[in-house]
Homo-oligomer: A and B are copies of this chain.
Amino acid sequence: MASFDLDSFLGPQVARVETLLRERMDRLVPAGTPPKLAEAMRYSLMAGGKRLRPVLCLTFADLVARASNASAVAGDAACALEYVHTYSLVHDDLPAMDDDDYRRGRPTNHKVYGEAMAILAGDALLTEAFTLVASGPEPVRAALCRELAVGSGAAGMVGGQVLDIAEDRPAALDYLLRLHRLKTGALIRAACRMGVVAAGGDADSLARADSYGDAVGLAFQIADDVLDVTATPEQLGKPSGADAAAGRFTFPAVVGLEASKKLAQDKVAEAISAVRPLEGADGPLAALARYTVERKS
């Protein structure tokens, strides 16, 4: 059904993100940053990964670009999103949280640099995301800071992590949806919205980016839970079945594997329908939405 060649699209987009991240390496760690802190920040930021949030941000920016300097601003926004995503992984992996030893096939930040440094490297990645987005003359910079902070804050990503570690969480679908709308969805929504804001898009585009981000964010998290059941350790870069072994609260655990797959597919359809007026019948955003559930890791 889909004829859009996602691999041909994603390869260059991910390479573009890697280049943008490398170009901003001296802004990630401003002059005066202790070398060990700089090393710990870079270790987790440059560990690869899907770069989904920056790619979504850049794709939306390209699609609605009106301002001539949208590209530099969108590049900053894309990198800031990856800084924030990386900080959240570093903190989530800590012994006091998920206590994970491996991430993307490598030892987690605190296994290499120690717990104190991992906490601080996360704090610094979060903070430098705002330095990056706030710097420069562009009038949308404050709006971008706000989108990033709202997506990653107490009623966004951090709030979601709190719901995830709560001991009294009910094994109910609505709680799980709320949890992931915050934990994963809020920053993915912010990524889509920031692309539109960086490129000077209109209110309709912003609303469509919001709907798309919400649906794709949920699809992505449901697919993550499904992959933990169905993928091999080689595909994941970490042991599979870890969620079930830890008794974690996942979509397959709450509604079953088949219903989880169906729910993810419904969300993909919602996402595609939201962006059809922006990109037509068969564009990169639709392909990215399908990719969130069709990926193998």
Could you tell me which A residues sit within 8 Å of B by CB distance? 28-34, 36-38, 41, 87, 91, 94, 96-97, 114-117, 119-120, 122-124, 126-128, 130-131, 133-135, 139, 141-143, 145-146, 148-150, 152-156, 158-159, 161-163, 165-166, 182
Contact = CB atoms under 8 A, between A and B. Distances in A.
A30 to B, nearest CB: 4
A61 to B, nearest CB: 18
Given A97-B116, A128-B153, A142-B141, A162 B30 contact: no
A123 B96 CA distance: 14
A117 B161 CA distance: 9
A133 B131 CA distance: 13
A96 B18 CA distance: 32
A96 to B, nearest CB: 4
A165 to B, nearest CB: 5
Contact of A146 (B34, B87, B116, B135): B135
| Dominant secondary structure at the A interface | helix
A162 B127 contact: no
30 contacts: A29-B154, A29-B155, A31-B155, A32-B182, A33-B159, A34-B162, A34-B163, A87-B123, A91-B120, A94-B116, A96-B114, A116-B165, A117-B165, A119-B119, A120-B161, A123-B158, A124-B154, A126-B126, A127-B152, A127-B153, A127-B154, A127-B158, A128-B149, A128-B153, A130-B153, A131-B150, A134-B134, A134-B142, A134-B149, A142-B142
Interface centre among A38, A131, A142, A148 (most CB of B within 10 A): A142
A278 to B, nearest CB: 26
A241 B128 CA distance: 35
A153 B135 CA distance: 14
Nearest to A96: B115
A162 B130 contact: no
Contacts of A131: 146, 149-150, 153
Given A127-B154, A130-B148, 18 more contacts: A30-B150, A30-B155, A33-B155, A37-B154, A37-B159, A96-B115, A119-B119, A122-B123, A124-B154, A126-B126, A127-B158, A128-B154, A130-B130, A130-B146, A131-B146, A131-B150, A134-B146, A142-B142
Nearest to A178: B32
A152 B153 CA distance: 17
Nearest to A133: B145
Contacts of A155: 29-33
